[in-house]
Structure 1
């Protein structure tokens, strides 16, 4: 049998308003009344209706999390960090898979508005004017993860993509490589595309090395397929390279697969470094050396910032999370 707040009030001989105040810890009742109500709740196994409780407190204890691809290892690690932070604060997370589709994203934002979520975490997509206007109308805190907006004043949590790409390239240079190519993501991507290309070029220039157009293959995205087709293109354009910086781990693994099909040994014949440090980086053959984004930490920090904004009603500072090189076996040191 499902009991209601009226049942608790009847059994304890107090008003429903008093039961509600006890449930929500609002005070205005004696210790004896509190103990009587809590005892009845325990005896009956009563569970307050979340929606009804939200109408009273003006909170749903729920946040929305929007991913462009929810099934990826990238997303799962961020989700783990977000859920760890949410769990500690007794909050729930509604996960939305937008597929990087504008209409679908708007549909989910409307759904989250109807669910009265207390805040939103927006992952790895460009913040458009349409998205921003909808978020503004919701009047709730928003934090970006692994993306940022130059146009709109939204706090973000991410690594410095340009600096991380510089670090990856500089690692190859320190391992003795001078003839280095890059398989980039989409250069039109202002968050992870062009900044990683710029970091690659900056590291090369820092050593007095000029990057020719032939040394970069521009991909459509950051997928395994982009690396699979990108490496043969790169080798055709720059056949004397000894190392490759791939703009993501998926691209790097695609490049390793392409190298295998071409009879090229990694790292004996060609060194490859990735970007992300996803779980699959450790599973590849050889295990992939990569510049690591601490994705779980990014998710946790972003959620903590969001909950702080929800509690205090104010703004917060963006956070740049430190990156590092996860050194494994896909890069060879040359003399």
Structure 2
């Protein structure tokens, strides 16, 4: 007894029968009921070992996390795990280095694990090349805008990173700061870092501030350690700055330690403003001023879009969620 026998009896295609017997979501209730009834009447038993070897898709959702030290992603992973646990799907989480190619990693893992959908936390648009068309399931990239990519199965959820950078620097300028330094990521490898830097430059140029990227910008990895090292490098260059904007809260926390070790007080000598809105920022001394990204909202929207694509065949969509600036104790007026 094979699925071909059930297909002949019910009149449904072999592929439809296979999906119904393997609990694939893309089968109508009517077809599923008819196929399952026929299978029961004919005494059909699914060969589980063969299923595992030959199945088209598993019952899993793959999540590729770009960066092992990104605490914003840690918050989002926790929320996504909670949301997926309330469904019939299993979540497989894969962590990779922040400079590695997430699209290539997903192509490889999709061949191995055959997920029904893929979530990316972090991404770089240029990594999603023609080869990515081999991934034929719905995908969502969170914290990166993929709207410019010609991929019909790739959605995205993010803040407006360029505007976030612009408003952050505008906030520092409104507090009277004119000598501003920036710690961000590698703009060649990170769309997020590039966009936030471009927003910073918009504000700096609009106010005619003196800013030399070679002197006043450090592009490093997203970590406490690199935020510390980058700030030490800025100080060693001899440039006197009264405000520091970092593209992530973890960088800002490292920067505050570096400033303290150099005898600088925050915010009396240097104001520090980060991005992310990590919960730890509320418990630092001083409390960290930050551009707040709504981590749980981005996670929830990403999961909803993915499930809609998986279960209803919904087209891809690209959403921007609002951010806001929390001016806490690490910034002050000049």
Q: TM-score, normalised by structure 1?
A: 0.76
d(CA) in 2 for partners of 1:158 and 1:184?
Answer: 18
Q: Does 1:140 align with 2:146?
A: no
Shift of 1:159: 1.1
How large is the RMSD of aligned CA atoms in angstroms?
3.4
d(CA) in 2 for partners of 1:221 and 1:227?
Answer: 8
Q: Does 1:27 align with 2:25?
A: no
**Hey, what does 2:157 align to over in structure 1?**
157
Task: Give the 3 Å change call, closer, same or farther, for CA 133–328 of structure 1 in structure 2.
Answer: same
Give secondary structure in 2 for the equivalent of 1:164: helix
Shift of 1:246: 1.2
d(CA) in 2 for partners of 1:169 and 1:295?
Answer: 22
Q: Output one character per residue of 1:127-177: Cα deviation in whole Å (capped at 9) or x when no partner.
A: 455x64554223111111112344443321111111111121122122222
d(CA) in 2 for partners of 1:50 and 1:125?
Answer: 36
Q: How many pairs were matched up?
A: 298
Shift of 1:53: 10
d(CA) in 1 for partners of 2:327 and 2:277?
Answer: 10
Shift of 1:101: 6.4
Is the 1:67–1:122 Cα contact (8 Å) retained in structure 2? yes
Q: Which deviates more from structure 2 when the two are superposed, residues 118-127 or residues 81-90?
A: 81-90
d(CA) in 2 for partners of 1:277 and 1:254?
Answer: 15
Q: TM-score, normalised by structure 2?
A: 0.76
d(CA) in 1 for partners of 2:310 and 2:320?
Answer: 21
**Hey, what does 1:224 align to over in structure 2?**
224
Is the 2:155–2:317 Cα contact (8 Å) retained in structure 1? yes
Q: Does 1:93 align with 2:91?
A: yes
Is the 2:179–2:210 Cα contact (8 Å) retained in structure 1? no
Shift of 1:108: 5.5
d(CA) in 2 for partners of 1:94 and 1:192?
Answer: 25
**Hey, what does 2:205 align to over in structure 1?**
205
Q: What 5-or-longer segments of structure 2 have no aligned partner?
A: 1-16, 41-47
Q: Does 1:69 align with 2:75?
A: no
**Hey, what does 1:120 align to over in structure 2?**
118
Is the 2:66–2:102 Cα contact (8 Å) retained in structure 1? no
Give secondary structure in 2 for the equivalent of 1:155: strand
Shift of 1:327: 2.8
Please say which structure displays the higher CA radius of gyration: 1
**Hey, what does 1:282 align to over in structure 2?**
282
**Hey, what does 1:185 align to over in structure 2?**
185
Q: Does 1:171 align with 2:171?
A: yes
Is the 2:272–2:289 Cα contact (8 Å) retained in structure 1? yes
Shift of 1:211: 2.8
d(CA) in 1 for partners of 2:136 and 2:272?
Answer: 46
1:298-317 equivalences in 2 (<5 Å):
298-317=298-317
Q: Which deviates more from structure 2 when the two are superposed, residues 80-89 or residues 208-217?
A: 208-217
Q: What 5-or-longer segments of structure 1 have no aligned partner?
A: 1-16, 38-48
d(CA) in 1 for partners of 2:207 and 2:257?
Answer: 30
Give secondary structure in 1 for the equivalent of 2:33: coil
Shift of 1:79: 1.1
Shift of 1:321: 1.3
Q: Which deviates more from structure 2 when the two are superposed, residues 209-218 or residues 84-93?
A: 209-218
